[in-house]
Amino acid sequence: MMDSSNTQPAAPNLLVNARDIGVRLGERWIIRHVDLKVAPGELVYIIGANGAGKSTCVKAVLGLIDITEGRVTRAPSLEVGYVPQRLQRLMLARALIHRPDLLVLDEPERGVDATGTDVVYELIEGIRRDLGCGVLIISHDLKKAMDTGDDLVVLVPHEHDDPPFGIQRFQGLDANRGDAPPG
């Protein structure tokens, strides 16, 4: 496996920048040809069906697993607060203690009713505003992502190696403006 990760920023003011990354396990590409970037104060969603590689993508961007191809750059001294699906409230509190530059949340709305989901997203918005941190969220909620996100990366499971795999980027979307992806 090739790990082309490093801690030199590819562009000024980016916390992370993934360019054309792919992760292959055995003969199967889990993700491939994915571009993703997060700047301070920006809210970016990764959306996709189960098995599309959302968690793998985040782990690759954070350097927790090796990438097979592409390049990931991270800001020097990047402080990351990573909150996986289990024990979210406890992990969120722990992640915030260090005032992260980048807060990564894996399905923060999981196991919460509709009212609770609104409260969770209000909390996330408050954290983003107060800390000025970038936020990367794995979610299945396309409407919430389009309503609140600054950028959106959609992953679709694939069975072949040639791009495109159904990976699409919708930057600066606002569903209320009618910027919805083609459909």
CB atoms within 10 A of CB 25: 11
Q: Give the residue among 11, 6, 13 at the shortest CA–CA distance from 134.
A: 13
pLDDT per residue as tens digits for the range 37-93: 999 999 999 998 888 899 999 999 999 999 999 999 999 989 998 877 786 666 677
* Lookup result for tokens 């991270």: 74
Q: What is the CA angle 25-88-32, rounded to 5? A: 25
pLDDT for the residue numbered 43: 94
pLDDT of res. 19: 95
Give the pLDDT confidence of 18-44 residue by residue, as tens digits: 999 999 988 889 999 999 999 999 999
Q: Tell me how many degrees the CA angle 55-57-62 measures, rounded to the nearest 5.
A: 95
Q: Where are the domains of the chain?
A: 5-172
The domain defined by 5-172 folds into Rossmann fold (3.40.50)
